[in-house]
Structure 1
């Protein structure tokens, strides 16, 4: 505005001087021409400003006279606001990416409890499809009575546990509802299926250990009380010796259970590796000696072992797995039955150790559970033959630590085949150096 007034004053001064030097008419003509020129220039400048207003993201016209003082701060402010908006958009995108990468599910709801957004994990947990479910009530999507009761309460101090079945798969979810913003809600979902299974396994394990140890302890305590309470002359040396033998048997049983538990603990906690080249034929020969001793010449053993076939592994663990399969075959094969032990290289280049028996066999419904700790198809027979119920669980862990597969084929009343198949990458020669 100051520049405009200065320009008008300048034209008026020039016109006044010309009026004095030449004549008044000339002065008025010059003043009129100056004012008209200023109006025309202002019109051009306003036209430039009008075009710029349609695209204010671009810099303003370089020179628009008195409008420069007005447009410059406006443009600086617009530019600062644009930079701030871009920064906010980047922050929002970053937050959305972080929310999408959360290991837990996240769902946002409006004041009517309608879905507005969810991350991929939440979509997987409860089957949300944002292309179809956006704007729909969460109660129409998560149809669990426990959740409806929980969500309609006034406070949500603790999460609610839901058991949801989707596509034939059971899933356990912890669902926490909370308020945020203005009349908005956030749902956080956490998959605790595995934690529930682990907790169930832990409880079963503790119960099974207690049960397995209670029986021999009860027997042992009973005999000790009998020997202690009865007068010495009333017990013959033969009876005393018989009691001692029974007590030793129960003590050995408890010792076997503890040893197997320690073996399992070691397998689960120690790091695994490729190990060293192991001549499995020697391990099988040692296991056969133990099996024949357990059999007491009541079974026929057929042996087909490749003595020159080595695998990379940990010798003590492999010995445990090999021995467990053999002793199980002896325990569950009737007198005069045949046990066939094989160790060979398959056509696919894998190494296979198998134990086939003509024993009592296993029902199909029991096979998937055989490697569970303390699971027995016939508890009475297993205890009678000295089994701890942990042998196949140990063998399964040995297989896993050696990248092998434990395969079980059986038919009730027709015998069984247990096999450990090692991948070709584990087959080595004695001179191989294994990292």
Structure 2
């Protein structure tokens, strides 16, 4: 405004000077010309300002006369607001990335319980599709009756456990609903499927251990009570020896169960085994020698063993796995049956240890559960032959620790093949 007044004053002065020299009409003409020129310049400046207004992200046009003092603070304020908006946008992006990285699912709802946002974990848990399910009622999305009753409460002091089917798989979810902000709600979901399975496994394990130890303890207790209550002279030396042998057998059975449980615990304490190259032919020959003693000449053994093939690992663990598969084959193969033991290198570079028998075989529905602790296809036969029910569980853990894979192929009444395949990076050839 000051510049405008000064400019008008200058043209007025020029008009007065010109009027004094050339006459009043000429002076007024000069003054009018000045005002007209100012109007034209002002129009041009307004035109440039109008163009800038359509794209205020750019700096304002320079030299727009009196408008400079108006546009400069406006542009500074716009630039400051833009920086603040950019910073807030970055913070929101960081928060959204953090929400996406959460191991738990997160779902936001408005005051009408309509879905407004969810992270990818929640999509995986419940099967949500954000673009499709946005602004839909959570009660139409999550149709579990337990959730319906839970969500319609006035307060939610704790989570609710839901069992849902998602893509053919059953999932166990802990769902917690909580209010936040004004008229907003947050749902947090946590997948506890594996935790429930582990808890079930733990309960089954405790029950199985109790059951497995109860039988030999009952036998021991019964014999000890019998020998205590009966007069010493009423038992013959032959009966005493028979009772003592049976008690020793049950004590050894409990000892074997405890030893296998300790072995399993040790194997589970570390995910992998490093070790050193182990000459497997030596381990297998020693296991075969012990197996033939256990067989008492009742089985035919066929050997197909590569003598120079080694595996990097723990020799004691590998010996346990080798022995367990041989012992199982003997226990479940009838007299005069054939047991074929192979140790060879495959075309893909893997090293494979396999035990094939002509035994009773295994039904297809039992094969997936064979490596479970204390799982037996034929409990009576396993106990009669001294099995603890932990051999295949130990073998599976030994294989896992050596990055190997245990596979089982069997047909009821036609025998079985148990194989452990070691990866190429653990296989080596011993130089002569």
Does the Cα contact within 8 Å between 2:272 and 2:403 map onto a contact in 1?
no
Q: Give the 5 Å matches for 1:173-322.
A: 173-322=173-322
CA distance in 2, matches of 1:64, 1:335: 109
1:332 to 1:39, Cα distance in 2 relative to 1, 3 A: same
1:337 to 1:41, Cα distance in 2 relative to 1, 3 A: closer
What TM-score, normalized by structure 1, do the two folds share? 0.91
Deviation at 1:178, TM superposition (A): 2.0
Higher deviation after alignment, 144-153 or 294-303: 294-303
Residues 27-63 of structure 1, C-alpha deviations (whole Å, 9 max, x = no match): 5444434333333332222222222222222211211
2:82: which partner in 1? Answer: 82
What TM-score, normalized by structure 2, do the two folds share? 0.92
Does the Cα contact within 8 Å between 2:308 and 2:431 map onto a contact in 1?
no
1:163: which partner in 2? Answer: 163
Unaligned runs of 5+ in 2: none
Deviation at 1:259, TM superposition (A): 0.7
1:431 to 1:157, Cα distance in 2 relative to 1, 3 A: farther
Q: Give the 5 Å matches for 1:102-141.
A: 102-141=102-141
The residue matched to 1:45 in structure 2 has which SS? helix
1:385: which partner in 2? Answer: 385
The residue matched to 2:355 in structure 1 has which SS? strand
Does the Cα contact within 8 Å between 1:277 and 1:429 map onto a contact in 2?
no
Residues 120-174 of structure 1, C-alpha deviations (whole Å, 9 max, x = no match): 2222222222332222222222221111111111112222221111222112222
Higher deviation after alignment, 416-425 or 143-152: 416-425
CA distance in 1, matches of 2:14, 2:330: 127
CA distance in 2, matches of 1:422, 1:32: 102
Deviation at 1:317, TM superposition (A): 0.9
Deviation at 1:115, TM superposition (A): 2.1
1:327: which partner in 2? Answer: 327
Q: What root-mean-square deviation, in Å, do the aligned CA atoms of Structure 1 and Structure 2 show?
A: 2.3
Does the Cα contact within 8 Å between 2:354 and 2:420 map onto a contact in 1?
yes
Higher deviation after alignment, 352-361 or 140-149: 352-361
Does the Cα contact within 8 Å between 2:371 and 2:393 map onto a contact in 1?
yes
1:152: which partner in 2? Answer: 152
CA distance in 2, matches of 1:148, 1:43: 67
CA distance in 1, matches of 2:271, 2:171: 31
CA distance in 2, matches of 1:85, 1:271: 49
Unaligned runs of 5+ in 1: none
The residue matched to 1:91 in structure 2 has which SS? helix
Higher deviation after alignment, 35-44 or 109-118: 35-44
CA distance in 1, matches of 2:108, 2:219: 61
Does the Cα contact within 8 Å between 1:208 and 1:374 map onto a contact in 2?
yes
Deviation at 1:339, TM superposition (A): 2.2
CA distance in 1, matches of 2:407, 2:212: 27
Deviation at 1:191, TM superposition (A): 1.7
2:43: which partner in 1? Answer: 43
The residue matched to 2:55 in structure 1 has which SS? coil
CA distance in 1, matches of 2:376, 2:310: 33
Deviation at 1:260, TM superposition (A): 0.5
Aligned residues: 432
1:46 to 1:259, Cα distance in 2 relative to 1, 3 A: same
2:353: which partner in 1? Answer: 353
